């Protein structure tokens, strides 16, 4: 509802997306999306997400109200002008207080699910990805980690943390320890 709108500008909306809701409709899902719900709530038929978060992920999503605003904001994201920061609970605790992961990220065939893999060398349909991580706190078993992606690829943070040997708790697709996401 309206309580999820964090900021309402004449050209855009900043919205608090709950976990387990898609940002936009997908071919694989007929579920209600945040974008569709906001179009109904605001009466703005041209409302479009400038970026997306994974269905399981909660956080702030920016929606443009006009095609012109979508193009302008899309360029800012594409050129690295938007600073993105995510928090994740991971296990086991990362060895280093700070680290980076980069490589080529792409979809891989898996008969059970939609998943991505990280490769050291370029491959067809794999795109370069990079994330910086900082361990903020830990209890010896789990850690709270700040994740700052400099690129915006599907499942990027999830794959990068798994590749670091410290997947997100509850992320069964990428080997996370049991827990609530």
Rounded (5°) CA angle 36-28-109: 140
Count Cβ neighbours within 10 Å for each residue of 54-92 and write b for 16 or more, e otherwise: bbebbeebbbbbeeebbeebeeeeeeeeeebebebbbbe
Q: What is the DSSP letter of 48?
A: E
Helix residue ranges per DSSP H, the chain: 34-42, 67-78, 156-163
| Structure-token pair, residue 146 | 């700040």
Catalytic residue, candidates 8, 16, 54, 139: 54
To the query of whether residue 120 is one of the catalytic residues in this protein, the response is no
Q: Are 107 and 125 in contact (CB under 8 A)?
A: yes
Question: What is the set of active-site residues?
Answer: 54
């Amino acid at each position: 509802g309206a309580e999820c709108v964090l900021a309402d500008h004449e050209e855009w909306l900043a919205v608090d997306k709950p976990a387990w809701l898609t940002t936009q409709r997908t071919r694989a899902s007929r579920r209600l999306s945040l974008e569709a719900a906001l179009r109904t709530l605001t009466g703005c038929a041209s409302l479009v997400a400038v970026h997306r978060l994974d269905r399981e992920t909660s956080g702030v999503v920016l929606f443009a109200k006009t095609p012109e605003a979508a193009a302008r904001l899309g360029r800012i994201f594409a050129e690295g002008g938007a600073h993105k920061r995510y928090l994740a609970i991971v296990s086991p605790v990362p060895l280093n207080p700070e680290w980076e992961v980069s490589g080529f990220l792409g979809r891989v065939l898996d008969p059970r699910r939609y998943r991505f893999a990280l490769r050291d060398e370029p491959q067809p349909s794999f795109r370069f990805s990079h994330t910086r991580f900082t361990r903020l706190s830990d209890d010896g078993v789990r850690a709270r980690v700040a994740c700052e992606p400099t690129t915006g690829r599907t499942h990027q943070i999830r794959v990068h943390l798994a590749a670091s040997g410290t997947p997100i708790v509850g992320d069964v697709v990428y080997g996370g320890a049991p827990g609530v996401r």
